Structure 1
Amino acid sequence: MTTATSPAADTVWFTRCPVPTATGLAYKLGWLDEEFARDGIALKTLQEVGGELARHHYDHGLSTLVREGGNLLALPARAQGAPTRLIGLTWIDEWQAILVRPGSGITTPAQLQGKRLALPVFRAEDLRENRRGRSIARGMSLAGYKGVLASAGLTLDDVQLVEVGADAQASANLGAGLWQGIAPLLRGEVDAVYVKGAAAAEAARAAGLEVGIDIDALPDRRFRVNNGTPRPITVHETMLEQHFELVVRFLTQTLRAAHWARSHQADVLAILQGETRAGADAVAEAYRDGFHLTLAPDLSDDKVALFRQQKDFQLQHGFLDRDVDIESWIDRRPLEEAQRRLEALLRVAA
């Protein structure tokens, strides 16, 4: 808790990924700036500041950083001893798909058996504070394939994983960075590739590829677990110890934005065009089926169990240096208090 002897905080940092989050909405609506400006506290994002500070997106080294982002960074950092606490989980289905060439005949998970699936290599770049946390494309692809195959009673042993690397010239126009398998798929070197998100939807359309398997349509969420499902919200433990009230206020505005989103779908989609760096059609395709109704973070037993499943996957496939005790990582206090405050705000508004 904040005490009279705690050092004053002049800046609250948060990190933004190109994905839909209640945190991003609260920021774009101006509510986070408004919340902290009255105390003279600046609100800054790592992505906008850039430079050396941006590396803290990977290692969580800033003591007043709130990070709502992929678990393929948060879990490896924790496994290497990052002094973070898990204060919330979100689940937002965002167009996970297996792309294929037109006429491939691959339309069901079972039809992947024996096929060549593109698997991005481990990134050559290394970050001392988070050694495995930069191989996001590999982790997402592997988790995507594993879930789809499991839905048909298959395993990774039933397919051929073909490692692919960055193709600078091709990837410049075909998804770049994360989606290195699109160009090999077009060249016929692989039969299918995993992708995710609005930008990937645009890249697929531009390349003339087809969705063979819509992962979001798999009814059991266990088969849709990946980097952003569930997506953790983490903070430095020092922030909880010295600035607990700031964390609660941040989460209250996040919950407020999630509540606002429930009745403002069109506005949310418009904001997401900027957040995801994609056009209106791609955003509408990627974010559907009432996604705007479930943006609020929680720490439900269901989400925690799915998060533990993702941790086990990362440990099994070499993304974690050591095991992570999920329950001891969690601190439920700030979200519980933020939920109480939101309920009070809504009662007053009513």
Structure 2
Amino acid sequence: MSHLLRGACLLLGLAASALHAADPSVIRIGSPQVGVGQKFFPGVNALAIANAHGWIEEEFRKDGIEIQWVSFRGAGPAVNEALANKQLDIVSLGDLAAVIGKSGGTATRLILANSRGANSYIATSPGSDIKSVKDLKGRKVAVLLGTAYQRRFELLLRDANLTPRDVKLVSLDWPTSKAAVVSKDIDATFGGNDLLLLRDKGVGIPVSTRGRGGDYTIQSGILASEDFASKHPEALTRVVRQLVRAAAWASEDGNRDKALTLWANGSGVPLEVLQYEFEGESVKTRISPLLDEAWVEVLKGVAEDGLEQKLIRRAVDVDAWVDDRFLKEALKQAKLERHWTELDRNGKPKK
């Protein structure tokens, strides 16, 4: 072998070693929800689909890269704490929790949308005379503070000419609040579609955010730590490609029932509840990964309201936070650039 050829082989070997060294040994993915049997379940979104099918593990198996799934009972605040302590690389977070973390100085990039359009519900204790938001005045109401539900609840209060000070607000996690409303320890609780399960226990559902517009619905996003995104951009793009794959799979008409069943099995929420939640709506639209104007505008509203209501101390520049380069590359690699329709700030298809 000539000296020139040996030199070329050495250079190729060094390049391969450098590339291998740049790979993470483990990718830690976090979520603020716990599913059935304490298993990882990040919600009704593309990440749950990818997790259930094992697609992210499949993507990295040949490289010997471990995928760790971590759920937090403490919801968004617990995930933000783990991010701040550099214990997670990629997370799914609801919009308000994500904004709170960013405002608090946690270095993250917002890399794709994970879900949009999720509705919220007010559940009242058995026999309650609460029929509207106005009837909550002076009542004891549970909302898990620091989560996306807090902002939507305050929007409903505002529409009824009330403020959080007009109700006896308590912060309870979701299992505790559900038990408390059934036992009449509280008058009402505000949360997701799992509250519909309480109707057979005499609990009322007098109010929801259905049909009230984008600001009233909850969206979640996928965030990557700044450290992981800067050190492992290729690995991050590969994760995003599997999330795009999951969203595309769930958005196929023939897979609608399969996706709803998968989410029902993971969450413990009966299938009929999710069918009600998605009634008249497109799964394709609800889990579009695009960081389009509609999705970003809602996030900007969350950030602005959070500052005004002193939920956050520092303003968040949403435009600077969004980094769609990984998503664009993943869509290109998967040949899905035209699969989803971009929506404008009013939620209409962008021309």
**Residue segments in structure 2 that go unaligned for 5+ positions in a row:** 1-15, 34-40, 340-351
Structure 2 partner of 1:201: 196
- CA–CA separation in structure 2 for the residues paired with 1:103 and 1:177: 20
CA distance 1:63–1:137, change in 2 (3 Å): closer
Q: Which structure has more RCO (C-alpha within 8 Å, separation ≥ 6)?
A: 1
CA RMSD, 1 decimal: 3.4
**1:200-241: CA deviation from partner (whole Å, max 9, x where unpaired):** 222x224311211121232x21233xxxx2212110112222
One-letter identity of the residue aligned with 1:261:
A
Structure 1 partner of 2:348: none
Deviation at 1:57, TM superposition (A): 5.8
One-letter identity of the residue aligned with 1:96:
S
Deviation at 1:336, TM superposition (A): 1.1
Deviation at 1:56, TM superposition (A): 5.3
Structure 2 partner of 1:116: 139
Which sits farther off after the overlay, 277-286 or 252-261? Answer: 277-286
Q: How does 1:320-335 map to 2 (within 5 A)?
A: 320-335=312-327
The partner residue of 1:210 within 192, 204, 225 is 204
Q: Do residues 245 (structure 1) and 234 (structure 2) align?
A: yes
Alpha-carbon contact 1:57-1:67 (below 8 Å) kept:
no
Deviation at 1:113, TM superposition (A): 7.6
CA distance 1:44–1:105, change in 2 (3 Å): same
- CA–CA separation in structure 1 for the residues paired with 2:82 and 2:302: 19
Give me the identity figure in percent.
19
- CA–CA separation in structure 2 for the residues paired with 1:77 and 1:232: 13
TM-score (norm 1): 0.75
Larger Rg: 2
- CA–CA separation in structure 2 for the residues paired with 1:345 and 1:300: 13
CA distance 1:342–1:325, change in 2 (3 Å): same
Structure 2 partner of 1:14: 29
**1:64-121: CA deviation from partner (whole Å, max 9, x where unpaired):** 6211122343222222221211112244344411223577665555x5485636144x
**Residue segments in structure 1 that go unaligned for 5+ positions in a row:** 121-135
Q: Do residues 145 (structure 1) and 153 (structure 2) align?
A: yes
Query: SS at the partner of 2:210?
Result: helix
One-letter identity of the residue aligned with 1:194:
F
One-letter identity of the residue aligned with 1:290:
E
CA distance 1:321–1:286, change in 2 (3 Å): same
Q: How many residues align?
A: 307
- CA–CA separation in structure 2 for the residues paired with 1:206 and 1:298: 38
The partner residue of 1:162 within 159, 168, 172 is 168
Structure 1 partner of 2:81: 58
Structure 2 partner of 1:267: 258
